[in-house]
Amino acid sequence: MIRTLPNFAPRARSAALASLMLSAAVIAAPVQAQSAPDALAVARDAALRDETAFDFVADLTSQVGPRQAATEAEARARAWAVARLNAMGFANVRVEEFQMPTWVRGEETASIISPRVQPMAVTALGNSAATPVGGMEGELVVFHDLAAFDAAPDSAIRGKIIYIGHDMERTQDGSSYGAFGVVRFTGPGRAAARGASAIVIRSVGTDNHRNPHTGNTNFPAGVTPIPAAAVSNPDADLIERMAANGDGPVRIRLNLTPRNLGQQTSGNVIAEVPGSDPSAGIVVAACHLDSWDLATGAIDDGAGCAIIAAAAQRVAAMGQPRRTIRLLLAGAEEVGVHGGRAYGVAHAHDNHAVALESDFGADRVWRVSFKLPATAAALNTRIANYLAPLGIGRSNSPAGGGADIGALAAAGVPVIDLEQDGTRYFDIHHTPDDTLDKIDPQQIAQNVAAWVVTLSLLANAPETLGPGQ
Ligand SMILES: [Zn+2]
C-alpha cells in the first residue's frame, strides 16, 4: 500500500505515528475510501476516539468547580490548568495576571405576591446593584419586549420595577443570542437611565426549565446601577399571563445582595507548542477558563479549553510544527472579556499568524468559516477538505473570531471559526445546569478531530498568514 504525506515534512513519520497509521488505516477506510489515508487523516480519525478532552473537563469541573472571575476559585483554576498543561507536555506554561473590578453574587430570592403567590427561580445579573436591606416590593410593569419598553412613556417607568421579555428561539448558529440577548446586555441600563427602581427580565435562554440564566449586564457611564435579575422562562410565562389576565396589578418581592469587591486579580494561562520557524508567526487557540458561579462551567467554557488542549497535544505528537501553537486560556471572559483584552495589550507586538477560539459548548462542529488573506485561499480549501469527512460544511460567510480573540481580530489577525452546533447551547448556558453530564463524549471528540486538522494545517502551512509577516 502506497502512503503519501502531502502536507507534512518527513519528520512527522515517527515510529509511533507509523504504527498508528497501520492500525488506523482500516478505521479510516469509510471516510477515505478512494485512497490510502495520509498522516493527517489518520490523526484526525484517531482523534474521534479522543478521551483526553472529556477527562480534562471532567477533572476541571470536579477538582476546581465554578470559577467566577477574579475570585479565589478562578485562581485555583489557573493553578490547576498550569499543572495540567505541564503534565500534558506543553512548553512555556505560565500565568499572566491582570487587575479588574470584581462583582460577586449574594443571596437572591423573588416571588410574585399578587394577584396570587408564586415563588420564582431568579438570579442576579452581573453588575446588578443590591436591593435595599431586607428586599423590596413593588408593582411590576410588564413589557413583552424591548420595543414595547422603548415605546412606553417615562411616567410608566420611573420608580417602578420593570419586566422585559423577548422571543428567543433555538438556532443552530446561535444567532438568536445576538438578536435577543440585548434584553440582558442593555435592558437594565436602559431601565436605570429612565428611572426604574429595579428590573426583572425573561432569562436569555431557550429551555423551559425553572433555571434562571445569569450573565453580565452593563450600565452606561453616569447611570447608577439598579437591582437587575433574570427569572426562568416558566416564571416569565406566568408573569406575562397574569399581566394579560387583567385581574389586578402583578406585584413582586425581590431580594438581591451582590457586592462589588473593587480591583482584584485575574489572569490568563498560556501554554505553547514551540514551532521551528519563529518568522512564520504564532497560531493562537483560545478558550476561557473562568465560568459563571451557578454551576461548574462544563460547556461554558471548560469544554473549549479541553478541546484546544487535547488537539494541540495531538498535533505536537505528530512532530514539531513550523509555527508555534499558543493556547490562551483566558481569565474573566464572562464578566467583560478582561482576559482577552489584557492579552491583546500585553501581546500587541507579537507576530500572530492566525487566531481561533472554542467557546460555544461541546456539541459537534458543523460548519467552518474563514477570514484568511486572499493569498491563502488554497489553505481554506485544504482545511475544508480535511474537515468534510467529519460532517463539517463550509460557510460562505467570513469568520468573526470570538470574544477572547476579538482584540487580535480587530488588529487584523486572520481568524477561522470552527462553528459548533448551538441548537441546545442556550438551554444550558449560564444556568445551574451547566454540568459535565451535558457533554457527549463522542461530540467533544469530534471537536478535537476538527481542531487537530485545522491547527496542524495552519501551523505547517507554507502560506503567509498574519498581518505582520
Ligand atoms: Zn463562554
Report DSSP letters for 369-386, one per residue. EEE--GGGHHHHHHHHHH
- Cα of first residue to Cα of last residue in the chain, in angstroms, is 40
**What distance in angstroms lies between residue 301's CA and the mean position of ligand 1's atoms?**
5
Q: Which CATH number is 114's domain given? A: 3.50.30.30
**What distance in angstroms lies between residue 432's CA and the mean position of ligand 1's atoms?**
15
- Range list of H helices, 194-281: 233-245
The answer to whether residues 168 and 155 belong to one domain is yes
Q: Taking a C-beta distance cutoff of 8 angstroms, is the pair 251, 138 a contact?
A: yes
The answer to whether residues 218 and 268 belong to one domain is no
pLDDT tens digits, 29-79: 444 445 667 999 999 999 999 999 999 999 999 999 999 999 999 999 999
Asked if pLDDT for residue 24 goes beyond 90, the answer is: no
The answer to whether residues 412 and 286 belong to one domain is yes
**What distance in angstroms lies between residue 413's CA and the mean position of ligand 1's atoms?**
21
Residue 34 burial by CB count (10 A; 0-12/13-18/19+): exposed, middle or buried?
A: exposed
The answer to whether residues 406 and 370 belong to one domain is yes
Q: Which CATH number is 313's domain given? A: 3.40.630.10
CA distance 393 to 389: 9
Cβ neighbors of 54 (< 8 A, separation 6 or more) are 306, 439, 441, 444, 445
Beta strands in 115-227 (DSSP E): 118-120, 122-124, 136-143, 161-164, 198-202
What's the confidence (pLDDT) of residue 412?
Answer: 96
What's the confidence (pLDDT) of residue 9?
Answer: 34
**What distance in angstroms lies between residue 439's CA and the mean position of ligand 1's atoms?**
15
pLDDT class for 2, splitting at 50, 70, 90?
A: very low
CA distance 465 to 462: 9
> Is 210 part of a structural domain of the chain?
yes
- What are the residues whose beta carbon lies below 5 Å from ligand 1 (ion)? 300-301, 359
The answer to whether residues 111 and 71 belong to one domain is no
Q: What is the mean pLDDT of residues 209-227?
A: 98
> Is 40 part of a structural domain of the chain?
no
**What distance in angstroms lies between residue 285's CA and the mean position of ligand 1's atoms?**
14
Asked if pLDDT for residue 169 goes beyond 50, the answer is: yes
The answer to whether residues 294 and 222 belong to one domain is no
What's the confidence (pLDDT) of residue 34?
Answer: 53
* 3-state SS assignment for residue 413: coil
Q: For residue 69, how many other CB atoms are within 10 A of its CB?
A: 29
- Between 313 and 8, the more confident residue is 313
> Is 362 part of a structural domain of the chain?
yes
Q: What is the mean pLDDT of residues 269-277?
A: 98
SS3 of the chain: helix, strand, coil, percent, to 5 = 40, 25, 40
**What distance in angstroms lies between residue 288's CA and the mean position of ligand 1's atoms?**
6
**What distance in angstroms lies between residue 320's CA and the mean position of ligand 1's atoms?**
30
> Is 440 part of a structural domain of the chain?
yes
**What distance in angstroms lies between residue 33's CA and the mean position of ligand 1's atoms?**
38
Give me the phi and psi of 328, to 5 degrees please: -115, 105
> Is 36 part of a structural domain of the chain?
no
> Is 9 part of a structural domain of the chain?
no
**What distance in angstroms lies between residue 131's CA and the mean position of ligand 1's atoms?**
28
Number of domains in the chain: 2
**What distance in angstroms lies between residue 332's CA and the mean position of ligand 1's atoms?**
10
Name residue, grid cell 498522516: 39
Q: For residue 345, how many other CB atoms are within 10 A of its CB?
A: 10
**What distance in angstroms lies between residue 166's CA and the mean position of ligand 1's atoms?**
22
**What distance in angstroms lies between residue 358's CA and the mean position of ligand 1's atoms?**
9
**What distance in angstroms lies between residue 13's CA and the mean position of ligand 1's atoms?**
37
**What distance in angstroms lies between residue 75's CA and the mean position of ligand 1's atoms?**
18
- The domain boundary residue, chosen from 234, 257, 280: 257
Element (H, E) at 23: helix 15-28
> Is 21 part of a structural domain of the chain?
no
- Selection from 370, 213, 367, 228 nearest residue 299 by Cα: 213
Asked if pLDDT for residue 18 goes beyond 60, the answer is: no
- The domain boundary residue, chosen from 233, 257, 281: 257
CA distance 371 to 351: 17
**What distance in angstroms lies between residue 300's CA and the mean position of ligand 1's atoms?**
5
The answer to whether residues 334 and 200 belong to one domain is no
Q: What is the mean pLDDT of residues 332-339?
A: 98
Give me the phi and psi of 87, to 5 degrees please: -65, -30
**What distance in angstroms lies between residue 379's CA and the mean position of ligand 1's atoms?**
28
- The domain boundary residue, chosen from 257, 276, 294: 257
Most confident of 7-11, 23-27, 45-49, 243-247: 45-49
**What distance in angstroms lies between residue 117's CA and the mean position of ligand 1's atoms?**
35
**What distance in angstroms lies between residue 334's CA and the mean position of ligand 1's atoms?**
6
**What distance in angstroms lies between residue 430's CA and the mean position of ligand 1's atoms?**
9
Q: For residue 154, how many other CB atoms are within 10 A of its CB?
A: 10
CA distances from 163 to 20, 135, 155, 348 (A): 59, 17, 15, 42
**What distance in angstroms lies between residue 402's CA and the mean position of ligand 1's atoms?**
10
Q: Taking a C-beta distance cutoff of 8 angstroms, is the pair 330, 389 a contact?
A: no
The answer to whether residues 349 and 417 belong to one domain is yes
**What distance in angstroms lies between residue 375's CA and the mean position of ligand 1's atoms?**
32
Q: What is the pTM of this model?
A: 0.91
The answer to whether residues 367 and 223 belong to one domain is no
pLDDT tens digits, 305-320: 999 999 999 999 999 9
Cβ neighbors of 318 (< 8 A, separation 6 or more) are 8, 12, 14, 17, 39, 40, 43, 456
> Is 34 part of a structural domain of the chain?
no
**What distance in angstroms lies between residue 387's CA and the mean position of ligand 1's atoms?**
24
pLDDT class for 246, splitting at 50, 70, 90?
A: confident
pLDDT tens digits, 66-114: 999 999 999 999 999 999 999 999 999 999 999 999 999 999 999 999 9
CA distance 193 to 186: 11
- Range list of H helices, 290-359: 303-317, 338-346
Element (H, E) at 97: strand 91-104
Element (H, E) at 21: helix 15-28
**What distance in angstroms lies between residue 363's CA and the mean position of ligand 1's atoms?**
14
The answer to whether residues 178 and 299 belong to one domain is no
Beta strands in 44-90 (DSSP E): none
Residue type for 254, please?
L
All cell numbers assigned to 152: 412606553
The answer to whether residues 182 and 146 belong to one domain is yes
Cβ neighbors of 214 (< 8 A, separation 6 or more) are 105, 123, 124, 125, 126, 230, 292, 293, 294, 430, 431
**What distance in angstroms lies between residue 291's CA and the mean position of ligand 1's atoms?**
7
**What distance in angstroms lies between residue 103's CA and the mean position of ligand 1's atoms?**
17
**What distance in angstroms lies between residue 263's CA and the mean position of ligand 1's atoms?**
22
Q: Taking a C-beta distance cutoff of 8 angstroms, is the pair 382, 7 a contact?
A: yes
Range of the domain at 181: 106-257
**What distance in angstroms lies between residue 21's CA and the mean position of ligand 1's atoms?**
36
The answer to whether residues 212 and 286 belong to one domain is no
- Selection from 143, 144, 145 nearest residue 157 by Cα: 143
Q: For residue 231, how many other CB atoms are within 10 A of its CB?
A: 27
**What distance in angstroms lies between residue 137's CA and the mean position of ligand 1's atoms?**
34
